Amino acid sequence: MGFLLMTVEYLAALILIVVFGLVSIIVFEAYRRRHNNAHVEAPAIFEDPKSLKQVPCPIVFDPAEKYLSLIFPAFNEEHRLPGALDETMNYLQQRVAKDKSFSYEVLIIDDGSKDGTKRVAFDFVKKYGVDNVRVILLGKNHGKGEAIRKGMLHSRGELLLMLDADGATKVTDLEKLENQIHVVARKDTHCEDSAASDTNFRISDVPIVAFGSRAHLEEKALATRKWYRNFLMKGFHLVVLLAAGPGIRDTQCGFKMFTRSAARKLFTNIRLKRWCFDVELVFLCKWFSIPMLEISVNWSEIPGSKVNPLSIPNMLWELALMSVGYRTRMWKINS
């Protein structure tokens, strides 16, 4: 009996030491990242592959020069990126043909790819011109969150759309997000019934975020998706609920649209660089009282996903850092 009691006490002490050590590591890392919203400080450079001249790089605090910016984060996407870009450019060209006032840019953020992603991206710059397609090279892999952030901070659009390089969501669905943003913006600014107010109304000045959502496909997805992805999804939803609270059912869909003013607030504060930056976006939207819209989009699973069982520990780690960082006020939010 005495030996059993001693064993229990030993195990309890060991568990306490492990828990204390883990909490200490999380707190230390959260403190270390308190200024991490600075992220990659190397200046973004656009190069015209035809003239080899550097093109001036805008920042999100400049006035908008385009109506729509589309931001593709790309890491080793040599094979999937061409299809997504072809579909996107065809759609944008058709829209320009219908509406001469429509303007756009496509930004491809090469997140340290080791394959031919850079070559594929520059082929599209050569084809459509550096005013319409631009490439930012991060040099080394920083994570999807950092690639998105870099693109957002150097975009020229009134509306900024992030979308995945695999083309899992049809680019035409951006009109669903776009239309709902306009509806909410006009209601918030009381412009919906006033034709005269159109001259003063700028969608870029109203902070709103539209989240593309696959929540309506969840039942079908459970039946067809690999078991580990279902486990990851269910567990992740629970942890997200604890970390960021309710509001958005599908935080991880890679199809989100931001007004320019919303992007300024969010992407100058975001600290997480990889999978969980989407959850941090939800947290920051609530902090700034930015309206969040969740809109169903068409989605299909494309082979080659980089999400795997090894992603689970990293996701939990980032969510723990976020929770500790914000709740202890170590992570300051710039207004």
Spell out the per-residue pLDDT of the chain, length 335, in tens.
666 677 766 677 777 777 777 777 777 677 676 766 665 555 667 777 777 777 778 899 999 999 999 999 999 999 999 999 999 999 999 999 999 999 999 999 999 999 999 999 999 999 999 999 999 998 889 899 999 999 999 999 999 999 998 888 999 999 999 999 999 999 877 665 554 456 677 899 999 999 999 877 665 554 456 666 667 667 767 777 776 677 788 888 889 999 999 999 999 999 998 878 999 999 999 999 999 999 999 877 666 565 656 667 777 888 888 888 888 888 889 87
β-bridge pairing 292-296 and 256-259: unpaired
Name the pTM for this structure: 0.85
Pick from 91, 266, 297: nearest CA to 179: 297
Would you state the CATH architecture of domain 45-191+202-328? Alpha-Beta Complex (3.90)
In 3D, which of 70, 24, 263, 281 has the Cα closest to residue 167? 70
The end-to-end CA distance of the chain, in Å, is 61
- The residue to which tokens 């989100």 are assigned: 256
Compute the distance between CA of residue 303 and CA of residue 290 in angstroms, rounded to an integer: 34
Pick from 270, 231, 14, 286: which is nearest to 151 by CA? 270
- Alpha carbon distance 105, 131 (integer Å): 7
